[in-house]
Structure 1
């Protein structure tokens, strides 16, 4: 017993030593970054913002992020601005047919050479105003440098008071607000009035034709249920047994409906469930007309939820929030403490001037609130778990039953 205690004590001491070493290394890293960003261009204070005409919205992330940004783009355009957008390819696809956009710039950062090419292209243009519209507070160096090197008189973001290149930094530290509130905050600063914040998605005629042919062939006069079992990460995906249970539930409740599964990748290719139909799609654009024409959508936390919101399609979405830490698991505690330390240093690196003066609440944004469905027909089920697959199928089914 004494040997076992000794072994655990040595193990805990080792974890603590690693924790302290990581903190020191990360502090040195942040100090080095502070030295580097000091040499980035310092933009002048704004003298006259009445000459703003050409605006760049820097989105540079994923499909769901772009969907929730579409009302922001609409209000900028309606206010008379010439609106351009920078983002990744899949996100820019969402803007296909959008009349509020004057042009798009592809952001590609998989390799350094790709990032340099993206910068080279966008620096051939000059903007009156560039808005960093990314939502999370975590540091993304590639994105940060990209923003700082854009040719613009005004560079606007939130929580960037310590970065010289941003000459407008708005403080935003609300942990439980919906993502659209951050965009409204920008509109308030620009003195742009807004009302409804419904999403804009325009359907490509060729994609609509493809879905019409699919429905005529496989659905006929039946009503349509669409299930999306896969998220961007493995821990956000349904298991095959959970999916089977959900399909059985819908079959028992909706006799005149047909169930269609959507997804991509190896797991989707191998998926075989009786009494279901698989919808083969090459891009998210193929799925959009299907979501619009569905009577009901069930999805894990991913862009499908926001597509359903755009069309006010009835949607049951499965979200999760992480479990509380196990007080007996010291390794987990040290890991969480280091994560908290790292993000505190990032906040101070980006917005230290404001934080030290005003002492805002630095709690991180709550995912279920931040990315909740933005429509009365969107119903959200939240589980306290670290993985969707760990939810008991019976418990999951009972929760879904409440909404059907």
Structure 2
């Protein structure tokens, strides 16, 4: 009876897989109908005529940090640089002298998205650059880009969307994210050398961190900053992993005081003796702490890129997902549907180029494109579907090798 039930479950998984493929195929075909009515921008780009540039960076904090050298070189080339992004990401640009102005992007609801678009459409740009890096389809972001008022709209892999009158092909799966931005600069004939990140520290927050250090850390005493929390639960360390990591320093590296950063319920409940908790409601609060730290240990999140900006010694914990086991048909179908969905998205956005040149359509590899961008950073990669499932002993042993 159990075997029969299993066969029914397998048939059900296969049926759901086929049904989802058909529904998504119809969805993409439906979207394609709307592209017929988009207006194309036919003017050829003359770089010397460009004065006002919008960098569309509607994404997360780490994405904005790695975009700062790109903004710097645009500004140094003589352009007035404007940036659109989410609220937390725009905080990264506080005190940045290379930015003329910023626009809030809010897609929490469709009405908020329309409000964001209404504000930015009061301005006319000579060039708008879509600086998001992943190839996955984000309809709200795409809608925003299409309806920005600009003479030229530049992006990667958008040959099928005629509103983008400049579509550059980019299908490299292992190149660091900064290389994609350099590709834009090459196209615009803008010279560049160092691609170090720009973070400008607020003087008041700098003084607050100095006070925190003076109150909690003895003169000439080292301190390590541990960031155990990422943007998603599967990127966060478990409480046991955090405890064992702290015990590593208490046992072998007693010259370090331990500072743990974070926010939210898990951070508030965390209670590990002989450690110091640093409340950081804003990423701006953390900047001076990371800069002054002797060592940073972090999961894959924006803190890794903050450490790179200041060239602070950092050990980062990255993760690559495991392939489904051969006997786990449900996971196999889920992975196959995911691959099918991203293939249709690529074709929807860039079919003209793909059909002609047959590029490599493998998905980008996170550990490569988002790796730390500094000589003082060490990346440790685990193959797991969740950081929490990494054996704590193996995790601590791996980190110990690089302290």
TM-score between both structures, scaled by the size of structure 2: 0.98
For 2:133 and 2:331, how far apart are their aligned partners in 1?
27
Q: Which residue of 2 aligns with 1:378?
A: 377
For 2:346 and 2:119, how far apart are their aligned partners in 1?
30
For 2:234 and 2:280, how far apart are their aligned partners in 1?
23
Superposed, 1:300-315 pairs within 5 Å as: 300-315=299-314
Superposed, 1:2-401 pairs within 5 Å as: 3-46=1-44, 48-221=46-219, 222-401=221-400
Contact (CA 8 Å) 2:47, 2:188: kept in 1 or not? Answer: no
| Residues 224-269 of structure 1 deviation map (CA, whole Å, 9 limit, x = unaligned) | 1100000011111111111111111112232222110000000000
For 1:326 and 1:255, how far apart are their aligned partners in 2?
43
| Residues 352-383 of structure 1 deviation map (CA, whole Å, 9 limit, x = unaligned) | 10001110000111000011000000000000
User: Alpha-carbon deviation of 1:209?
Assistant: 1.1
User: Alpha-carbon deviation of 1:323?
Assistant: 0.9
2:343 counterpart SS class: helix
For 2:78 and 2:218, how far apart are their aligned partners in 1?
45
For 2:311 and 2:216, how far apart are their aligned partners in 1?
24
User: Alpha-carbon deviation of 1:294?
Assistant: 0.0
For 1:282 and 1:18, how far apart are their aligned partners in 2?
42
Count of aligned pairs between the two proteins: 402
User: Alpha-carbon deviation of 1:16?
Assistant: 1.1
For 2:238 and 2:341, how far apart are their aligned partners in 1?
33
For 1:340 and 1:187, how far apart are their aligned partners in 2?
31
1:273 counterpart SS class: coil
For 1:166 and 1:38, how far apart are their aligned partners in 2?
13
For 2:47 and 2:399, how far apart are their aligned partners in 1?
50
2:152 counterpart SS class: strand
For 2:95 and 2:218, how far apart are their aligned partners in 1?
29
User: Alpha-carbon deviation of 1:324?
Assistant: 1.7
For 1:54 and 1:174, how far apart are their aligned partners in 2?
29
| Residues 71-99 of structure 1 deviation map (CA, whole Å, 9 limit, x = unaligned) | 00011011111100000011000000111
1:238 counterpart SS class: coil
For 1:281 and 1:333, how far apart are their aligned partners in 2?
40
1:357 counterpart SS class: helix
- Bigger drift between 4-13 and 344-353 goes to 4-13
| Residues 127-148 of structure 1 deviation map (CA, whole Å, 9 limit, x = unaligned) | 0000000000000000001000
For 2:45 and 2:79, how far apart are their aligned partners in 1?
19
Is 1:402 the equivalent of 2:365?
A: no
Structure 2 gaps, min length 5: none
1:131 counterpart SS class: strand
Contact (CA 8 Å) 2:43, 2:151: kept in 1 or not? Answer: no
For 2:354 and 2:314, how far apart are their aligned partners in 1?
39
User: Alpha-carbon deviation of 1:47?
Assistant: 5.6
Contact (CA 8 Å) 2:156, 2:170: kept in 1 or not? Answer: yes
- Bigger drift between 380-389 and 244-253 goes to 244-253
Structure 1 gaps, min length 5: none
For 2:396 and 2:47, how far apart are their aligned partners in 1?
54
User: Alpha-carbon deviation of 1:48?
Assistant: 3.4
Contact (CA 8 Å) 2:228, 2:236: kept in 1 or not? Answer: yes
For 2:43 and 2:55, how far apart are their aligned partners in 1?
20
For 1:142 and 1:330, how far apart are their aligned partners in 2?
33
For 2:252 and 2:92, how far apart are their aligned partners in 1?
34
